[in-house]
Each structure stands twice: as structure tokens, then as C-alpha cells.
Amino acid sequence: MPALIRLHHDLAALLRRPHEHGSVVYPVDREASLKDAVEALGVPHTEVDKLLVNGREADFATRLAEGQTIDVHPPSPPLDPTQPHPLRPPLMRLAFLADANVGKLASLLRLLGLNTAYAGEAADREVAARAAREGRVLLTRDRRLLRRSAVLHGRLLRANEPRAQLAEILTLYGLSGPFRTFSRCLRCNAPLVPVAKDEILPRLLPKTRRYFDTFHRCPSCDRVYWPGSHHDGMLRMLADMGLGGA
């Protein structure tokens, strides 16, 4: 007798095979865990917030048995990964690791002052290990990467466009500001530190020297930041999205 797996809410949209309203009749022909079964259907374990077997809470290691009804629920916002959870250990603080396929999203998160490391060209295995080691939510468009057991917290971005992806993350984690905009280096995520104008004077163009007095420096890559035109453009973009700075 097969099992019935019911994918609730937006998880149904991730199903690979034909289904009726997120319900899939699943053949129980081998020893499979709930994690195996749900991921075989196309849903990475990171997207699951609650698992029920015949109405009772279960975890990913639970074995699938004949005739069971499995309910799979996504998180309902706001999700706080620092809180105790039956399916995964809590994070120390909310921080992200952006995969190479969501690089622009990483810049937008940094722009808001949110701690966001960037995976760059690292191999999948290393990216997954880093997310676990540094206690970060792995953000990606790659389902296979999220299926790795080393990944405990992650989010499969549903949107294509970086601003829509940002809105997706802010909604999911209930981040509504005020944000510490321009508090992190956009290039390397390090928190910026104030720097005296005198110290960097030789590096400034004449117009910047004349019109600006407040400067910040990245302690990691040494890039200098000031509230110039780039800054204004970014603030306008955030305002367009309904996001004010602090």
C-alpha cells in the first residue's frame, strides 16, 4: 500500500511530478526516510517547517511506512531561525550565506546592513559546510545544494529578480527595519568603521574632498565609503521598495 504525501501551501509548486492540489501517492518500495521521500518529490528539506505522520509530529529521519499520510508544511512568516525548532538546531544569530546564483541579492542584503557572506565560486560541498560552520542561512536557487544534509538552514529563492528576492527574504524572516543601511562593506560584508577625512585625503577626488566630511572605511578591503551619488541612488531604490534606512 502506498503512502499519501500532502504538500501544503507554496510547497505544492515545487513538486516535480503531476499532482492534485499538492497530494502525491508515494510508493513505499524501499527503506526511505521522510527527508528522502520529500526531496525525491522536488522539495529540499530546508523548505519544510513541520512534518506530520498520520497527524503526529515527526522528524526527517522518520521512516516512511505503508498507508501513512504525511503532511508537509512550509514555515509561516515571520520565521525566526534563532528559536528552538523540532527539525533543526537554532542559529546563534540571523546571518546569511548567498550562493553564486544570488549575488545581487547578497549586495542588497548588505546594503541593508544584514550579515551576508558570499559563496562565490566555491564547490557545493564547501558552500554547504561553510553555512553549517558559520551558522548561516544558505540562500540559493539551486535545489540540489539545499538537499545536502550539511545544510541545516536554507531558503530556495522562488523569485528570479533580485529585488523580488529581497522582498521574499524580508517577508519570510519578518525583517521590517529600521535597517542599518551602509553599515557593511558591499564588497566583503565587513562592518564599516568611521575614518577621519585627514587620513584618506590623498585618496579623494577634488569634488569629494570639497563636498563630503563623513567617511567610513572597510577594515577588510580598505574601500572608502561616503554619502555620494551612488549612496543616494541606493537610498532611492530602497525607498521605492518601501524600505527606509536608519
What does the binding site for Zn ion look like in residue numbers (CB under 5 A)?
185, 187-188, 218, 220-221, 223
C-alpha cell at 83: 528559536
- Type of residue numbered 85: H
DSSP for residue 155: E
| HSE-up (13 A, CA, CB side) for residue 96 | 28
Q: What are phi and psi of 191, to 5 degrees?
A: -65, 135
Q: Which is nearer to Zn ion, 72 or 192 (CB)?
A: 192
Angle of CA points 94, 95, 101, to nearest 5° = 135
Shortest Cβ distance from residue 219 to Zn ion (Å)?
A: 8
Output 132 or 204, the one with its CB closest to Zn ion: 204
| Partner residues linked to 193 by β-bridges | 217
CA dist., res. 202 & res. 197, Å (int) = 10
What is the nearest approach in angstroms of Zn ion to the Cβ of residue 212?
19
Q: Tell me how far, at minimum, the Cβ of 222 lies from Zn ion, in Å.
A: 7
Cα 48 to chain centroid distance, Å, stands at 14
Pick between residue 147 and residue 216 the one whose CB is nearest to Zn ion: 216
Shortest reach from residue 13's CB to Zn ion, in Å: 37
For residue 123, CA distances in Å to 89, 103, 104, 119, 126 come to 24, 15, 19, 9, 5
Residues in Cβ contact with 207 at an 8 Å cutoff, skipping those fewer than 6 apart: none
User: How near is the Cβ of 184 to Zn ion at its closest, in Å?
Assistant: 8
User: Looking at beta carbons only, is 186 or 241 nearer to Zn ion?
Assistant: 186
Contact 74/37 with Cβ under 8 angstroms?
no
Q: How far is the CB of 48 from Zn ion (least distance, A)?
A: 36
The type of residue at 104 is K
Between 48 and 185, CB nearer to Zn ion: 185
Cβ proximity to Zn ion, 129 vs 188, nearer residue? 188
Q: How far apart are CA 28 and CA 31, in angstroms?
A: 8
Residue 144 or 187 having the CB closest to Zn ion = 187
